[in-house]
Amino acid sequence: MPGFDYAGSEEEVLVQGPKVLVTGATGLLGRAVCREFQAGGWMVVGTGYRRARPRFLRCDLTDEDAVRRLLHEYKPDVVIHCAAERRPDVVERLAEATINLNVHATSTLAKEAAVCGALLLYISTDYVFDGRNPPYGEDDAPNPLNMYGRSKLEGEREILRHCPGAVILRVPVLFGEVELVTESAVTSLWLKVQEATEESCTLDHCHQRFPTDTRDVAAVCRKLAERARQDPSIRGIFHFSGKEQMTKYEMAVAMAQAFNLPSNHLIPLTEQPAGSAPRPVNSQLNCSRLELLNLSIEPQPFTSAIIDCLWPFTPDKRWRQTVFH
């Protein structure tokens, strides 16, 4: 079948719980979401695209027929829509492909989820805000500064237009277990931390960020999905974020300290870097709606969470055992 094929596992057939379809299951967040729902006894069907095989379904979400068949064949109770192009500089270069994935595919999924009666949870971003007047509540007016933020906001609008019972979860910059450190903007900093023997290197000390662990976001997704299935008033926009405010410079220094590495080669840069897509200076999210409904979780401290992600990339991988056990 063009655009959609599957290499399922026997494990999935044996699980009897409710069924969740996770798009972007090969990505940074999607992997954590699949793990979280599996651990909670859900039957998980994950989709990917270029990296789908052998573990996941391969489905090009920009192919409307493939999306339609996917939902009608698997009849999920819940869809967690993680797939997107989320690198702001790539988005500026590949505008048409981004709109197809971030907006049109989102629109198709929303229509099909509504037809199938599946609860849809769409992952969005703090980049829908301009960062000039934080913290931002769910009802504050968005004003994205770059094409990525605009495409995600358009995605939100398609979700609300076609699937009024859907949930939208906005999150800030994410990190988690990575296949390569360059997979997330946070773990990428590890390359700079390790350049201690080279010349000094500059790091952004201008944009305030709230690095958030994908395991925490995944846990919130499961809480939201389980509650929203019972309570139809759980719908619309929610915010979730890590609590520690840090610039990239501060994240890199924290990584160096966590692994007892030198950090005096890291130089804070207080001017906006030229040539890249504009980013909000501080798009801190107010997360009180989730907290008041008891749908939030206490985020893991940055230092311990980043150690979990980076220790496989330390020269001596026994480091973790020798220090922590």
Please give the residue ranges that form the binding site for ligand NAP (CB under 6 A).
24, 26-30, 48-52, 59-62, 82-84, 86, 101, 123, 125, 152, 171-174, 184-185
Q: How far is the CB of 152 from ligand NAP (least distance, A)?
A: 6
Nearer of residues 86 and 207 to ligand NAP, judged by Cβ: 86
Q: How far is the CB of 44 from ligand NAP (least distance, A)?
A: 14
Residue whose Cβ sits closest to ligand NAP: 27
Cβ count near 235 (within 10 Å): 18
Nearer of residues 182 and 200 to ligand NAP, judged by Cβ: 182
CA 137, 168, 206 angle in degrees (round to 5)?
Answer: 50
148 counts as catalytic: yes
Q: How far apart are CA 266 and CA 257, in angstroms?
A: 12
Residue 221 token pair: 């997704």
Helix axes 28-39, 214-230, angle to 10 degrees: 50
Q: How far is the CB of 16 from ligand NAP (least distance, A)?
A: 27
Q: How far is the CB of 316 from ligand NAP (least distance, A)?
A: 28
Residues facing residue 212 across a β-bridge: 174
The amino acid occupying position 214 is: T
Q: How far is the CB of 281 from ligand NAP (least distance, A)?
A: 16
Q: Is the previous residue joined to 135 through a cis bond, with omega within 30 degrees of 0?
A: yes
Q: Which residues contact 156 (CB under 8 A, 6 or more apart)?
A: 122, 124, 128, 168, 237
In 3D space, the residue among 137, 133, 154, 27 whose CA is nearest the CA of residue 82 turns out to be: 27
Start-to-end C-alpha separation, the chain:
50
Q: How far is the CB of 318 from ligand NAP (least distance, A)?
A: 29
Q: How far apart are CA 245 and CA 224, in angstroms?
A: 25
Nearer of residues 106 and 249 to ligand NAP, judged by Cβ: 106
Residue 220 token pair: 């919130």
- CA 51 vs CA 20, 23, 212: distances in Å: 20, 12, 24
Catalytic residue chosen out of the listed positions 49, 74, 136, 148: 148
Site of tokens 């996941």: 56
Catalytic residues: 148
